Structure 1
Amino acid sequence: MGFLVRKICNRANTVRQLIEAKNEYLAEKTSSESKIPVNKETERVIRHQNLSWDDVLADGQEVQVCKTANYHTGGTITDVTDKVSSSLQEAAEKASRVLNIPVVGMDFLVPDFAGDEYVIIEANERPGLANHEPQPTAKKFIDFLFPKTKK
């Protein structure tokens, strides 16, 4: 679906201001790794929804600002670990074994993460472990590698 920004309070924030605020949050959380682009493509996506940079959203209203959901272009990571189907888990494990990469992050396109339809679109041999809120992914990984240090 892409990345959304949403108005969550009564302040008169424009679409541009909401994106800027989200970018400040992303810069803080990701050491500036992730940012919603403020460019012609973002403007095109906003205009396609009959909005402009200067429009003020109603409380709770969302606006899609990117067609992609890539983390490095402002996409967010949503933890669905406890909801992923066993067939998707098995597919990720099998792909990991086939690739023979000790630590790998798999990117899937799925219509329903609780279902069994999927396409693997990317394998990352250096997955970002620190950005998977609320799961303490990096901690779990370190505990896996060094079980005697687990607290």
Structure 2
Amino acid sequence: MSEPRWLDATEQRDWRAYVDGSVRLTEIMDRDLKSKHGLSVSEYEILVRLSEAPEHRLRMAELAANASQSRSRLSHTCSRLESKGLVMRDTCPGDKRGVFAILTPEGYAALERAARDHVETVRAYFIDVIDPADLAAIGRAFTAVMKRIHG
């Protein structure tokens, strides 16, 4: 077994800054969305993905992949959104096993309300504190990360 390629001090510093910063930022976004709109970050992300989809509907499998959730976690999250009247599920025509998640008009309205506050949180704790050149570098970096992950 070969020796791992350990991080040097600079790499370790930057990696820890990413991990700590992303965890704290997600906590802040989750707290704000829950306190102001009764939505978790994962619920909000599902509403966003559905709002961007044609006819505001996606197959559950595609939604799970796009929203970075396991199928079982997505099913539980969609159940919560259904109980709030924000999402409904329907069978896929011609595929008895397939299920669509559909954004309801109430869900779209809730998303519009939440997005106004959410963008302020994103700006205050991310966009406005990062130099534009660094923000562009972050975008390039995570595009490369996603390419590696998805092959």
TM-score of the aligned structures, taking structure 2 as reference length = 0.28
Larger proportion of helix: 2
Normalised to the residue count of structure 1, the TM-score between the two structures is: 0.28
